[in-house]
Amino acid sequence: MPAALAEVIRNEMVESVHYGHLVLLNAKGEIQLAVGDINLPIFPRSCVKPLQARAMVKAGLNLAPKLLALVTASHSGSETHIEIVRQILNSVGLDESALQCALDKPIGEVERKKWGDAPATRIAMNCSGKHAGMLATCIANKWPIKNYLAMDHPLQKLILNEIESVASEKSMNKTFDGCGAPLFAISTIGLARAIQDLTLADDSASTQIRNAMREYPELVSGVGRLTQRWMSVIPGLLMKEGAEGVQIASLADGRTLAFKISDGGFRPFSVITAAALAHFGVKAPDESISVFGGGAPVGSIRATF
Per domain, the residue ranges of the chain are 3-303
**Amino acid identity, position 35:** V
Query: In whole angstroms, how large is the CA radius of gyration of the chain?
Result: 19
Cβ count near 176 (within 10 Å)? 11
- List, for residues 48-84, the tens digit of each pLDDT value: 999 999 999 999 999 999 999 999 999 999 999 999 9
CATH of 3-303, picked from 2.60.40, 1.10.3470, 3.40.710, 1.10.10, is: 3.40.710
- Please, are residues 284 and 296 in contact by the beta-carbon 8 Å criterion? no
> Which pLDDT score, from 0 to 100, does residue 142 have?
99
Instruction: Give the pairing type, strands 31-35 and 41-42.
Output: unpaired
pLDDT bin (cut points 50, 70, 90) of residue 13 is: very high
Q: Which of 229, 266, 228, 227 is nearest to 246 (CA)?
A: 266
Separation in Å, CA 88 to CA 31, 45, 94, 128, 212:
39, 22, 9, 10, 15
Computed over every residue of the chain, the mean pLDDT equals 98
Beta bridge pairs of residue 207: none
For residue 3, list its beta bridge partners: 20
pLDDT of residue 233: 97
Q: What does the angle CA 289 – CA 293 – CA 296 come to, to the nearest 5 degrees? A: 70
Mean pLDDT of 78-104: 99
In angstroms, the CA 98 to CA 89 distance is 8
Per-residue pLDDT, averaged over 216-245, amounts to: 98
pLDDT reported for residue 107: 97
Prediction pTM value = 0.96
Q: Where does the chain show beta strands of DSSP type E?
A: 3-10, 13-25, 31-35, 41-42, 173-176, 182-187, 238-242, 246-250, 256-261, 289-293, 296-303
Other C-beta atoms lying within 10 Å of the C-beta of residue 15:
12
Query: What phi, psi does 245 have (nearest 5°)?
Result: 80, 35
pLDDT (average), residues 288-305: 96
pLDDT for 210 equals 99
**The amino acid at 260:** K
| Predicted pLDDT at 295 | 96
3-class SS of residue 34: strand
DSSP-derived pairing of the beta strands 182-187 and 41-42? antiparallel
User: pLDDT tier at 266 (50, 70, 90 boundaries)?
Assistant: very high
Torsion (CA) 216, 217, 220, 225 in degrees, nearest 10:
-150
pLDDT of residue 195: 99
Confidence (pLDDT) at 131 = 99
